[in-house]
Structures are given as C-alpha cells and as structure tokens.
Amino acid sequence: MSRILRFAAFALLVGALAIGSTTSASASVVEYYTTAAFDGVPASPGTSPATLTAGGAVLTFTGAGSSAPNDQNAVVADPGSPATAFYGTFSLSGVTGLENFGTHSFTLYITQTVPTPASGPTSFTSTLTGKVTVQDGFQGSTLLVTFDNPTTQIVASGVGQDPSSVTYSVPNSLQINPQGQVTTLQGSLTVAPEPSTVALAMAGLPLVGFAAWRRKRRNLA
C-alpha cells in the first residue's frame, strides 16, 4: 500500500473517531410541553387536559409537562440519534356506546422551550394533526387516533446562533385502550448536529489524520 493510501486510511479512521467523540460529548437537553385540541378547540396551544364528548363517550387527552413553565418534559439526546419522547396520555370514560361517536379532528401542540436562541423567542410551537375514529374489531368497537403526518420539526434560530433543529415523531396510529385504562402517546425526538460542530470536526480531519500517520511512522522507524 502506498504512503498516500496509508495516510488516507488513517485520516478516515481517526476522523470517524473524532466525529463520534464530538457527537457523544455534545448531548443536548430538549425541554418541551404538549397540549391538544379536539375539533379545532382551542385553535392555539391552550391548557391541559383537552376533552371530547361525543356519541356516548368522553375522550380526554392530558399533555406532557403542560403546566409549563414549572413542569416541562426534559429529554437528553445525542445529536443525530432518536431519543424516546413522551407526549401525553388518552383516557376513555363515560362510555355507553361508540356507534354514534363519528369522526373528529385531533391536534397535538408541541411547544419547545429549550433549546431557544440567546436573543429572540423564548419558545417555539409546532403541530401534528390527525383524527379520531371508531374502529370495529373482533372484541367490539374501539377508538383509533391516526396522524396525517407523524413528523414535525422545530428550528430554533436566533441572533448570532446556528439554527438548532429538533424533529418530533409520533406513531402513524394509536389504538385507545378500553374505559378505565390509560393510553400513552409516545414517540421520539431527534436533535440535528449543530452546523458549526460538524464543520469544525470535518475541518480537523486532515490534520488529525496526518498527525497520527506521522506518529506511527516514527514509532516504526
């Protein structure tokens, strides 16, 4: 193998290790809370819980950390790696029958308070929309929450900072447990690596690789 190829191999190996260590060392804390709306009420992030009464049943959604700013959800996530995120719970009560429940819209509001820019807004809100329908099964009728698009992204950008992007994801659909049982809405969130961090790591690859290659040559001499 030529010296150039050896150098390239060392650069790639050490560079990969450098990126890995940079990613693990820069774990981010994401803080957020959720609220919801049935049939468009409320039309903006409101208070929790949200309740829908229809067709002989009462469906309640209780958000995650929704008594902000004192009770927010906090998730520690390595950039680029999905982390488990809790979005709230559904509960069904007062059921006398679901045959007349109908179809209703559901909106999940995700309000992110960390990260936010040093100068600018103190929170960012994004929404996930879907619907609640009746699903007929072998053991009777149940309610099903289906999301139109299970992924949304919040980009917290401000003066003098790189944009910090967080992607929030939920399941495509969620079956509501029978009356008396809680149904958890759980998904994931992914923090995008900071552009400046990635650029710094990439810029240092040739120098780090060259230094390692020279060190090996001296040890073999």
Q: What pLDDT, on a 0 to 100 scale, did the predictor assign at position 221?
A: 57
- φ, ψ of residue 202 in degrees (nearest 5): -65, -35
Question: Do 90 and 182 form a contact (C-beta atoms < 8 A)?
Answer: yes
Question: Do 150 and 187 form a contact (C-beta atoms < 8 A)?
Answer: yes
Percent of residues, the chain, with pLDDT higher than 70: 68
* 169 lies in the same domain as 197: no
Q: Which residue, among 153, 104, 160, has the nearest Cα to 128 in the 3D structure? A: 153
3-state secondary structure at position 166: strand
pLDDT digits (tens, 9 = 90+) for 60-114: 999 998 654 446 789 999 999 999 999 999 999 988 888 889 999 999 999 999 9
* 76 lies in the same domain as 64: yes
Q: What pLDDT, on a 0 to 100 scale, did the predictor assign at position 84?
A: 96
* 59 lies in the same domain as 140: yes
Bridge partners (DSSP) listed for residue 71: none
Q: What pLDDT, on a 0 to 100 scale, did the predictor assign at position 24?
A: 46
* 141 lies in the same domain as 179: yes
Bridge partners (DSSP) listed for residue 135: 142
Mean pLDDT, rounded, for 39-47: 84
Amino acid letter for position 85: A
* 132 lies in the same domain as 158: yes
Q: What pLDDT, on a 0 to 100 scale, did the predictor assign at position 212?
A: 53
* 71 lies in the same domain as 21: no
pTM of the model: 0.76
* 90 lies in the same domain as 174: yes
* 59 lies in the same domain as 153: yes
Q: Nearest-5° angle of CA 59, CA 67, CA 166?
A: 90
Helices (H) and strands (E) in the chain, counts: 3, 12
pLDDT at 21 over 50: no
Percent of residues, the chain, with pLDDT higher than 90: 50
* 3 lies in the same domain as 86: no
* 9 lies in the same domain as 63: no
Q: What pLDDT, on a 0 to 100 scale, did the predictor assign at position 188?
A: 98
Number of domains in the chain: 2
Q: What whole-number distance in Å separates Cα of residue 121 and Cα of residue 152?
A: 19
Q: What whole-number distance in Å separates Cα of residue 56 and Cα of residue 93?
A: 9
Q: What whole-number distance in Å separates Cα of residue 64 and Cα of residue 185?
A: 10
Q: Which domain holds residue 122?
A: 29-192
* 96 lies in the same domain as 115: yes
* 96 lies in the same domain as 202: no
Mean pLDDT, rounded, for 184-200: 76
